[in-house]
Amino acid sequence: MSTDEEYAELQRLKAEIHYHVYRYHVLDAPVISDLEYDRMVERLKQIEAAHPEWVTPDSPSQRVGGAVSERFAKVRHPAPILSLGNAFGVDELLAWVERTARLDERVRSADFVVEPKIDGLTVVLTYRDGVFVQGATRGDGEVGEDITSNLRTLKALPLRLPVDPHGPKPPATLVVRGEAFMFIAEFEKLNRRLQEAGERTYLNPRNTAAGSLRQLDPGLTASRPLTLYTYAIVAADGPTPQKQWDLLQYLKALGLPVAPESQYCPGLQEVLEAVEAWRAKRDRLPYEADGIVIKLNDLRLAEELGFVGKDPRGALAFKFPAREVTTRLLDIGVNVGRTGVLTPYAILEPVEIGGVIVKQATLHNFDYIAEKDIRIGDRVLVKRAGEVIPYVIGPVVDARTGDEKPYVPPQTCPACGQSVEHLEGEVAWYCVNLACPAQLVRNLEHFVSRGTMDIVGLGIKIVEQLVEAGLVKSPADLYSLSKDDLLKLEGFAEKKAENLLQAIAASRERPLARLISALGIHGVGEVMAADLARAFTDLDALASARLEDLMMIEGVGPNTAQSIVDWFARPGNREFLARLKAAGVWPVSEQKQAAAQGSQPLAGLTFVVTGTLASFSREGVKEYIQARGGKVTDSVSKKTDYLVAGEAAGSKLDKARQLGVPVLDEAGLLKLAGE
């Protein structure tokens, strides 16, 4: 890079940093993340270090904080409210210790205090004769904004010291530095309340805390769940502790809140161990913390070390890998899950988060996109915590140019082109095409499972083999498989192929309820399938059912009824049913057959089965009862007519006795059925 290009970059960086400082400190509406800001400042410092003659008084490197808003009265701090130098890794931490040790050998044997670097708003609190009289923001480090009325609304801030009358007496004038913030749980509750009220939600706790404290209406501040931790004395009329650890205990004794996670470290080794411990527990903290602050415990030594530029040498901010960054949302893609649920995802302009390049992030669901008003082309805030999949928090609305495009959910499945289903009151959008390639393996796995068509020997690995070989593109294809087809697959010999074909053939005889359950209709499980099998002779009859017919069946609500009607209305599903019928997989309701023969002895009775029976499997006894007109449910209630109990019956037997539900053994069931 030429000198002219480097100088031009310097001027551009200065302008951009000034703009972002203004947005962060004055408007409380940043459009970039802390990581991006830190990188700009670091690059600026690199250029200025190489060309010290280019450093000017207006350079961002020469100031401490941000601008001061004209909306508030000005407060001059009794001492500079300084920011800290940053370290982004252990090597930089060790380099800081080595640099300061070269200035004063006492650093090599020093003890330290580690405190959380909470992502909030720095505040300066003034007490006179123990009474809170003024509160201010940091501002530019020399002059802040008077937010006394707003700070008075914080319940964590004591209006008089000491809180405990037996505590230490504070100096006549005491100026304390702290951080105002929101606990994550309280921030999430606030956002839920705002969402329910139809109001705009916030992106993160830091911006919310800063914006709440810098309101002209203290009533609005009072409605926000703000809290406070203190950690330093800026000025005092009398003596105060000269060890940082003692100072924290002193503040706490006065009744000022102190971060309970702060810890004393006897030496550098303990600091390094603390760094690793804090990294591990970061995601479990009740507040957002973007790092830890490592301080020399000896405050006199820290003061004697002085400053490098505007940064005190006696303390360092150790920054965690960034979890939140902003980037451009290039597009929104859609995945089709194995259950048919359509899930949107963000296609991002690549960005580094915590040492990982992120190109995609989850958007949760289509309602989330609408609620957050996320648009294609937006600058979005993306978060990645630990090993959690990155997700989009929301758009940076103030960064919009007008070219962003609102997103419309797809009307057809991106995998198969069939129209999708979205039922009122549900979050998910579904593709209900049984032959959809994106969900074929899952649909086949469900179709052949023990509770549905029960094709013995056809597990998930063989299902995947059949799909990968192109032998099965729909569950109906199972009934046209040949021995030659199976022998082409790895692991198949004559006997295994014959056994599987026999199991497939045997599944043609499964009762109607099993087949209905195997179809995988949204909202239709085993119990519902049994109810439908009692109400309809076969799948032709069920396919012809109207919405009102279905809703006449106990337990079938409007959404489930609509799912059933929609499933049978789809051309792909109708084609699948035609192929099943041609393959001889078309059971007729056993209950209807029995009713025609006048043999429904269990009609109108509700049963629950528990324990192990001698002559029946669990599925077998259900089918026996259902074939004779009875209904089988999973839980005992006052509506249960009989509990069928075998060996090792558990809590269901106890509940039946409590409710006075008659209990039958296997012989009693057979007798009731007239056999």
The whole-angstrom separation of Cα 585 and Cα 356 is 52
How is 530-559 classified by DSSP, letter by letter?
HHHHHH-SSHHHHHT--HHHHHTSTT--HH
> Which three-class secondary structure state does DSSP give residue 635?
coil
Tell me the residue length of the chain: 675
Q: What are the φ/ψ torsions at residue 77 (nearest 5 degrees)? A: -75, 150
Q: What are the φ/ψ torsions at residue 510 (nearest 5 degrees)? A: -65, 145
With contact defined as beta carbons under 8 Å apart, do 618 and 609 qualify? yes
Residue at 83: amino acid letter: S
Q: What are the φ/ψ torsions at residue 644 (nearest 5 degrees)? A: -95, 115
Fill in the DSSP letter of residue 23. I
With contact defined as beta carbons under 8 Å apart, do 66 and 21 qualify? yes
Q: What are the φ/ψ torsions at residue 433 (nearest 5 degrees)? A: -80, 115
> Which three-class secondary structure state does DSSP give residue 477?
helix
The whole-angstrom separation of Cα 504 and Cα 498 is 10
With contact defined as beta carbons under 8 Å apart, do 603 and 641 qualify? no
Q: Please confirm, yes or no, whether 372 is among the known catalytic residues.
A: no
Read off the tokens for 164: 């405990």
Read off the tokens for 388: 């959690």
Read off the tokens for 338: 């194995």
Cα–Cα distances in angstroms (integers) from residue 384 to residues 266, 318, 366, 387, in the given order: 33, 19, 20, 7
Read off the tokens for 254: 């006065």
What's the angle, vertex CA 367, arms to CA 391 and CA 358, rounded to 5?
A: 15
Q: Which of 14, 45, 117, 243 is catalytic?
A: 117
* Residues annotated catalytic, as ranges: 117
